[in-house]
Amino acid sequence: MAAMSTKPAILLTGPPGIGKSTVIRKIVALTSSRLQGFYTREVRAAGRRTGFEIVTLRGETGLLATTGPDANFAKQVLVGAYRVNIDAIEQIAIPSMLQALEDHKIVLVDEIGPMEIFSARFCDTVLQMLDDPSVPLVGTIVERPYRFADAVKAHPRVAIRQVTMHNREKLPEEICSILADA
């Protein structure tokens, strides 16, 4: 019986605003047919960031977080000035990750960060995928210390790639090359 090869689990990290999600979107553009999962994008009003959306590669969107005072999510937590919608994580992000498994695609997770890790189901799903060497994964992870994020960064399958001003233009093609055999 042939040994199963371990698929890559690549997570990008770096300070806020360095371009992690931009690198992810470029990876999506280069390999979209092989990926399934979600990314986050800013919601802006009058030139100011007012929140974040979850966007799946199948086109579903949901409000992840908002600074709006009228937000009244069924399950919410506060992270700084943002009200975080736990239901969006559990009803949009997690199913998109699980769909990637079902479709035998590379799992896209943007991001493993302070907002998402308030969902125990999200954390469990990420660990389940990392513990399965047959699941290829690419995503982003918060750079600052957080207990769950630190455990993910220390996972034996995870390869951390630091995004910098100097490498962010080259990273999409480098990562796509690594994922080519996934």
pLDDT in tens, 37-83: 999 999 998 999 899 999 999 999 999 999 987 777 888 888 989 99
What does the domain layout of the chain look like in residue ranges? 10-39+86-175
User: pLDDT at position 4, please?
Assistant: 57
In the chain, alpha helices (H): 20-31, 86-88, 94-102, 120-131, 147-153, 171-179
Helix (H) or strand (E) holding 64: strand 61-66
Q: What is the dihedral of CA 92, 93, 95, 98, to 10 degrees?
A: 170
106: β partners: 35
Helix (H) or strand (E) holding 134: none
Greatest CA span in the chain, whole angstroms?
A: 60
Instruction: Name the phi and psi angles at 47, rounded to 5.
Output: 80, 5
Residue 2, pLDDT above cutoff 70: no
In tens, the pLDDT along 5-40 reads 789 999 999 998 899 999 999 999 998 789 999 999
CATH architecture for the domain at 10-39+86-175: 3-Layer(aba) Sandwich (3.40)
C-alpha pair distances (Å), 49 with each of 13, 18, 151, 154: 21, 16, 30, 32
Q: Could you tell me the sign of the dihedral formed by the alpha carbons of 98, 100, 106, 109, in that order?
A: negative
Instruction: Name the phi and psi angles at 49, rounded to 5.
Output: -75, 125
Q: Which two tokens stand for residue 56?
A: 């799946």
User: Residues for the chain: how many in total?
Assistant: 182
- Strand, coil or helix: 169: coil
Single pTM value for the model = 0.92
**Tokens 């513990």, located at residue:** 131
